[in-house]
Structure 1
C-alpha cells in the first residue's frame, strides 16, 4: 500500500511550521491593492492559513493511470447490478478511458476537498463575479434529465449561497467560472492556483498503485456520497474520511464531478469523480472520464484546484 505520508511533510520542523502559520495568516483577506505574499514564504506542506483551501501534497514520481479491460468490465458490472440495465455498456462509456499504463508527474499540492460555497462566496463578494445560478431556458437547452426545479436548492440568492449549504461543494459553475476563481485566489495569495490536469487529478485520487477506487479495489457505498445510500443531494465536504485516497484527498469519488484543465472534444473539458446522482458506481472510479461543454453549469459539477511545488 502506498503511504500517504511523504518525506517532505516528515522533515518540516516545528519551528518552521510556527513561522509558516504566522506568514499564512498574514496573507489572508488582503485589502485591495495590498502586496501579495511571495510563494517562497507560503508553506509547501499543505497546511492552510485562515481562509485558504486546505491542500494535500502529491509527491513527484511514477503512478499507474487509466484502466485495462478487467477494470472496465468491473465498472460495467457495478452499473448493471445497481441499475438493472446495461446502458453504460451499450454506449461504451468506459471504453474511452486512457489505457492503463505508468505515468510520471512532478510534485504538486491539491485542495483536499472541492471548493465550497463559502470559499467561492468570498470571491463573488469581492469581485462581483456572477453567482452560481442558471435560467430555466438555459437549463432546458442542456437537455439534462434533472428537472429545473432541482437546481433551485443549489442556486444562490442575491449573491449569497443557499441557506445551510456553506460547506457544500459549489456547483452551477462553468469551466470559465472555475478559472476565474483560480485567478482571483492566485492574486490574493501570491501563489499560482489552477485546475488540475486529468492525470494530476487521477494520481491524487487513486495513489500510485492504480487501485480502482480511492480506498482500494472493492466498491463500498459507505465510503462516498452516491445515490446508493442517498441523500440524492450534495453533502458538506469531507463527510467520508474512510473514502480518502492514499494521499488524504477527500470526496474524490461521488459527491460531484470535477472540472479539469484537460480538453475533450472541441469546446469540452474532461470531468472526473462521479456524483451524488450515480449508483454502482463505475463512473466514480478515478480512471473514468467524460467530457462536458465548457459553458455548462450543472448541479453535478464542481471543482478543486492545484498549485505547483
Structure 2
C-alpha cells in the first residue's frame, strides 16, 4: 500500500504532467540573436527584449476570471453567482499553465494582426485557397459556436475579401494556411517569418510582471472588442488603444484568437491565445489558452507573425 507521502508525491507528479502533457512543440527556436536594431529595420515589427517574465495563472487569477466573466454575462446582479458557479463547473480556465517564471530570448513581434489585404496579396500571387469554409465542412468541425449564417459575411468571393474590410484581421484560415503564408512572405521579403510560440505571445501581451491584461490586472469594459463592447464581429486592427500591450503591440486582447506555433496532442492540435469578439472578460487574459485541430477554420481565429532572422 502506498504511504500518504507517496500518494502526495504521486498526485503532485500527475498535476504537473496534466499542466504540460499536451505541449509537444513550439519552444523558441535557436536563431541568431535578435536585436532592437533588427526589429526597427523592419516596418511593422516591435522588439520584445529577452529575459524572464511571469507566465500562466494561479488560483487567485482563475477565480477572478470566473467572476468577471459572470459579471460580463449577467444582465442582472442576482444572476452573477449562478453564472459563476456554472462556469467553474465547466472548468473554463483550468487548463491554463500554472503560474511560473519563463525565460525567453529576444524576438520581433508583428505590431498588427495579418489583415485581409495582407492575405489577399498571398492568395493572388500563389493561387492558394481563399479564406472560407463550406456549410458541410463547418458542421464537421464540431465546435460551431456560431451558426453558418454568421459565417457567410466573412466568406471571400474568389480572391476578394468582404467589401470595406481591407484592414480587418483575416479569419477562416487554418494553421496550415498561415504557416504557408509565413513561408511565402519570407520568400518575398528575404527574411524568415514564423508564428509566435505560446510563451512569446503571452509575454508580448502581458509584459514581464504578470499582469492579467495588456493594460493591467483589473478588467475594463472599454478595454477591447468583446461580446458586450464592440460590433459583435471583427473590428479594424488597432481600433482599441487599451488592448495595445506595453511593447506597443495592438489587439493583444479581444478581436480574434491567434494561432501560435505551439502544437499539442501529437501535433494534431494548435494552441490559440488571446480572446475573440464574442468572448467574456476571463478569456481576454494573457494566460488563457485553448487548442483546436490544425485544420480548423473559424471566424474567431486569426494570426500575426514573428520576425525570426534577417
Same fold (TM over 0.5): yes
- 1:4 is matched with which residue? none
CA contact (8 A) 2:214 2:242 kept: no
- 1:121 is matched with which residue? 120
Q: Does 1:83 align with 2:73?
A: yes
CA contact (8 A) 1:233 1:277 kept: yes
For 2:211, what is the secondary structure of its paired residue? coil
- 1:193 is matched with which residue? 193
Q: Does 1:178 align with 2:178?
A: yes
User: What's the CA shift for 1:307?
Assistant: 1.6
Q: Does 1:158 align with 2:158?
A: yes
- 1:16 is matched with which residue? none
**TM-score between both structures, scaled by the size of structure 2:** 0.82
Cα distance in 2, alignment partners of residues 130 and 186 from structure 1? 19
CA contact (8 A) 2:45 2:307 kept: no
Cα distance in 1, alignment partners of residues 55 and 217 from structure 2? 14
Q: Does 1:272 align with 2:273?
A: yes
Q: Does 1:107 align with 2:97?
A: no
Q: Which moved more, 1:285-294 or 1:135-144?
A: 135-144
Q: Does 1:58 align with 2:48?
A: yes
CA contact (8 A) 1:265 1:291 kept: no
Question: Any idea what the Cα deviations from partners look like across 1:112-144, whole Å, max 9, x if unmatched?
Answer: 111000000100010000000000101111231
CA contact (8 A) 2:169 2:302 kept: yes
Residue number among 69, 72, 89 corresponding to 2:62 in the alignment: 72
For 1:222, what is the secondary structure of its paired residue? coil
User: What's the CA shift for 1:305?
Assistant: 0.7
Provide the aligned length of Structure 1 versus Structure 2.
265
For 2:108, what is the secondary structure of its paired residue? strand
Q: Which runs of 4+ in 1 moved over 4 A?
A: none
User: What's the CA shift for 1:298?
Assistant: 0.4
**TM-score between both structures, scaled by the size of structure 1:** 0.82
- 2:283 is matched with which residue? 283
Structure 2 unaligned runs (5+)? 1-33, 75-82
Q: Which moved more, 1:144-153 or 1:168-177?
A: 144-153
- 2:23 is matched with which residue? none
For 2:181, what is the secondary structure of its paired residue? helix
RMSD of aligned Cα (Å): 1.7
CA contact (8 A) 1:230 1:276 kept: yes
- 1:12 is matched with which residue? none
- 1:44 is matched with which residue? 38
Cα distance in 1, alignment partners of residues 136 and 242 from structure 2? 40
Question: Any idea what the Cα deviations from partners look like across 1:180-199, whole Å, max 9, x if unmatched?
Answer: 00000111111110011000
Cα distance in 1, alignment partners of residues 308 and 132 from structure 2? 31
- 1:219 is matched with which residue? 219
- 1:138 is matched with which residue? 137
User: What's the CA shift for 1:265?
Assistant: 2.3
User: What's the CA shift for 1:43?
Assistant: 5.7
CA contact (8 A) 1:107 1:308 kept: no
- 2:16 is matched with which residue? none
User: What's the CA shift for 1:47?
Assistant: 5.2
Cα distance in 1, alignment partners of residues 48 and 228 from structure 2? 30
Structure 1 unaligned runs (5+)? 1-39
- 2:20 is matched with which residue? none
